[in-house]
Amino acid sequence: MTAAAIEVRAVDKRFGNVGIIRDLNLSVAKGERHAIIGPNGAGKSTTFNLISGHIEPTAGEVRLNGDVISGLRPFEINRRGLSRSFQVTNVFARMSVWENVRCAVLWATGHRYAFWKNVDSLPEVRERTAKILDDIHLMHRRDVPAGLLTYAEQRELEIGITIASGATVVMLDEPTAGMSHAETDRAVALIRRLTEGKTLVIVEHDMSVVFGLADRISVLVYGHIIASGTPEEIRRDPKVKEAYLGEEAH
Amino acid sequence: MTTTTTSTPKLATDPAGDNLRFYGVWLAGILALVVLPLVFSSGGSVTSFSLIGIAIVFALSYNILLGQTGLLSFGHAVHYGLGGFAACHMMNAVVSHGWPIPLPFIPLFGGLGGLVFAVIIGWVMTKRAGTVFAMISLGIGELVASSSLILRSVFGGEAGITTDRTALPKMFGWSFGPQIQVYYLIAFWLVLSAIAMYALTRTPLGRISNAVRDNPERVQFIGYDPHVVRYIAFCFAGFFAGVAGGLAAINFEIANSAYLGAIQSGLVLFSTFIGGTAYFFGPILGAILVTYLQLGLTSVTSVWQLYFGIIFIGIVMFSPGGIAGLVMMHRPLVRAGTLGTVIPAYLVAIVPTLALACGVILSIEIVARFSGGEPINLFGIGFKPQSPVTWITAAVLLVVGGFVARLSWLRVADAWDRAATVARDRGYLA
């Protein structure tokens, strides 16, 4: 049996005496689209931070494709093929849209800290950047500083930066938060297309997005996963109904 | 040099024209460096040009930190000073050992002096950005400056280390005794350093430095260690500051503790900020202006530092983008052809603004010279600091000038907004 893309084993995270995450177990198979849902304050973003190396687990371990990654720095985890977006838009505000995406392409194309190459004359970087800008429909805004984009455009750029490195495991933290219906539909189509053949972990509040997009869903309540399964299983699970879907299910 | 360090706007212009303009600006700059001392050939001018050249290299090196990587250093003169000492020691060693190294190569050793210290101290310093970095840089600056007075064998104590630039092997038959020859040596290194530092902004490292400046957290999630990025940028800044220090050592034939002190560090911060950190050419403008002010003001007023402070506060409050920011604000207007609509408002504003400035200058000088100072000479008009006529003049200029100036500035802002809106509607954002 091949290793899961992401394997979280018995992870605890305490801030002082407060346990935010308790005995968290999560397994995401390669190529799967996995959604994490749960009420506000359940620890969804903390889970993302734990997996992506933003914070370190107090106990337990996280594996990426079978290798332990807990304790590694975020950039080390990123170099192993895991990329994440942020719930609050987190772009390079003073740099142009083009520069934003290009920066995210540079490490993956092997240019690293090079100070002897002209960044404008790297054909593979240029092509990859152009392709991603086409994919996220921002080519016409390429020279605009990212800080001046509309909110929806910034969210799209956020996704573009996240996938630019070509990571095989992509984690999106509420990619459609604050979007209108039309914008959400567009973003979901975009996510579906861009994560084709990749492993996707997504935190999302919009249930139509979750049930439309995910192969499997995990429900997080008070820092603990109470159920994991297909959308059908989750819909029927009495514990989930009680804890979470009860008041929000359509 | 007109390209920003943050982005490369390529709006509706043809690339060939862009290229032509780009190289045209650089060639014009180089030509100006060659021709300037021929036009203004007095000894004083050539000395000033030499100092400006050194200041430009220093300020550009500082902007690698401040403008491009977002690191506010209060101790950048450490690298400048150590570069100066390294250059002096090297020159003396060349002379005493009879090495075949001519003077034009000496700034390279200055650069190495600045670089070596940056390599040693930088890793710890750049672990964090922001306030932590600023505070450590201040501490290191003080540490090195006070060490320079204690470690006499290296720094020569109060007297410093002296050297004789004419004793080195000749190159092209130049002895580098006359100031004009030193000027051309400085100009040569200025061009070399400026091209190298500009090129640096166009490399993967340069762009990632910008990303670290904007958002160090996110950089970690695109595969980069912001610490390493800051460290490499810090080393480059240290090297070019060392080159500037080496040039200063050649120019003055001495290196002493004043080179690496807080005043020197403050001055480079000041020049870079006044010039504008967001554009490559900003620090060049800042270095030219500040050096000129320094040379010019010290001879006419004893409180020249006060004027520096006022200018600095003015820029921080009213134009955080510096002079370069003010200039580049007008680029969309020029492109959209609406610049003409704001010029009249500017011309109208000049008169009351000058009156206000005269009021400020007069008030400062009255205070500075009240007890036994010389008479004030303002644009050829003499004022006695003790005379009530002078006080009334100052008060009228301040109050009336200030009031009318404010009105005229509002009109400037209005005119500018209208012109900018038109420009935006025509598709020119930058």
Q: Work out the minimum CA distance from B91 to partner chain A, whole angstroms.
A: 30
pLDDT tens, B163-217? 999 999 988 889 999 999 999 999 999 999 999 999 999 999 999 999 999 999 9
Strands A33-37 and A216-221: parallel
Q: For chain A, say whether B213 makes contact (Cβ under 8 Å).
A: yes
B158: tokens are 């109060």
Average pLDDT over residues A122-131: 96
ipTM over 0.85: yes
Mark whether B295 and B374 lie in a shared domain. no
Q: Do A82-166 and A1-80+200-250 have the same topology in CATH? A: yes
Looking at B271, B300, B326, the residue that finishes a domain is B326
Q: Work out the minimum CA distance from B357 to partner chain A, whole angstroms.
A: 34
Average pLDDT over residues B279-295: 95
Is residue B11 domain-resident?
no
Q: Do A119 and B6 touch (CB under 8 A)?
A: no
Sign of CA dihedral B306, B309, B311, B313: negative
Q: Give the residue on B whose Cα is nearest the Cα of A143.
A: B9
Mark whether B317 and B342 lie in a shared domain. no
Note down the domain range covering B307.
33-326
Where do the structural domains in chain A lie, given as residue ranges?
Answer: 1-80+200-250, 82-166
Contact between B355 and B401 under an 8 Å Cβ cutoff? The reply is: yes
H/E stretch holding A167 reads: none
Rounded CA-CA distance B342/B336 in Å is 13
Mark whether B309 and B379 lie in a shared domain. no
Rounded CA-CA distance B339/B333 in Å is 5
Q: Which of A25, A23, A14, A30 is nearest to A170 (CA)?
A: A30
Contact between B61 and B76 under an 8 Å Cβ cutoff? The reply is: yes
Contacts of B211 in chain A (CB under 8 A): 92, 95, 99, 103
Mark whether B283 and B407 lie in a shared domain. no
> What's the pLDDT at A247?
53
Mark whether B44 and B173 lie in a shared domain. yes
Chain A interface residues facing chain B, Cβ-Cβ under 8 Å?
A: 52, 73-75, 78-79, 83-84, 86, 90-96, 98-99, 102-104, 106-108, 111-120, 122, 143-145, 148, 161-162, 164-165
> What's the pLDDT at B125?
95
Is residue B13 domain-resident?
no
Task: Give the best residue of B22, B220, B222, B279 to mutate against chain A (max A CB count within 10 A).
Answer: B222
> What's the pLDDT at B19?
84
Q: Work out the minimum CA distance from B171 to partner chain A, whole angstroms.
A: 30
Average pLDDT over residues A111-126: 95
> What's the pLDDT at B3?
42
Mark whether B297 and B380 lie in a shared domain. no
User: How many beta-carbon contacts under 8 Å exist across A and B?
Assistant: 124
- Which one of A75, A92, A113 has the shortest CB-CB distance to B211? A92
Q: Work out the minimum CA distance from B90 to partner chain A, whole angstroms.
A: 28
Looking at B272, B307, B326, the residue that finishes a domain is B326
Contacts of B10 in chain A (CB under 8 A): 143
Is residue B10 domain-resident?
no
CATH of domain A1-80+200-250: 3.40.50.300
> What's the pLDDT at B7?
41
Classified by CATH at the fold level, domain A82-166 comes out as: Rossmann fold (3.40.50)
Is residue B5 domain-resident?
no
Mark whether B280 and B360 lie in a shared domain. no
> What's the pLDDT at A249?
43
Q: For chain A, say whether B196 makes contact (Cβ under 8 Å).
A: no
Q: Work out the minimum CA distance from A45 to partner chain B, whole angstroms.
A: 15
pLDDT tens, B383-418? 888 889 999 999 999 999 999 999 999 999 999 999
Is residue B96 domain-resident?
yes
Contact between A133 and A156 under an 8 Å Cβ cutoff? The reply is: no
pLDDT tens, B35-63? 999 999 898 999 999 999 999 999 999 99
Q: Give the residue on A whose Cα is nearest the Cα of B278.
A: A94
Question: Which range (A114-123, B55-64, B283-292, B380-389) has the least confidence?
Answer: B380-389
B402 CB-side CA count, 13 A: 8
Domain containing residue B220: CATH number = 1.10.3470
Mark whether B338 and B319 lie in a shared domain. no
Mark whether B117 and B247 lie in a shared domain. yes
pLDDT tens, B329-369? 998 899 888 899 999 999 999 999 999 999 999 999 999 88
Q: For chain A, say whether B224 makes contact (Cβ under 8 Å).
A: yes
Whether the per-residue pLDDT at B9 is higher than 90: the answer is no
pLDDT tens, B230-258? 999 999 999 999 999 999 999 999 999 99
Contacts of A140 in chain B (CB under 8 A): none
- Backbone dihedral angles phi then psi of residue B67, each to the nearest 5 degrees: -80, -40
**Amino acid identity for residue B381 in this structure:** I
Number of independent structural domains in chain B: 2
Is residue B112 domain-resident?
yes
> What's the pLDDT at A240?
86
Looking at B294, B326, B358, the residue that finishes a domain is B326
- Which one of B199, B215, B236 has the shortest CB-CB distance to A92? B215
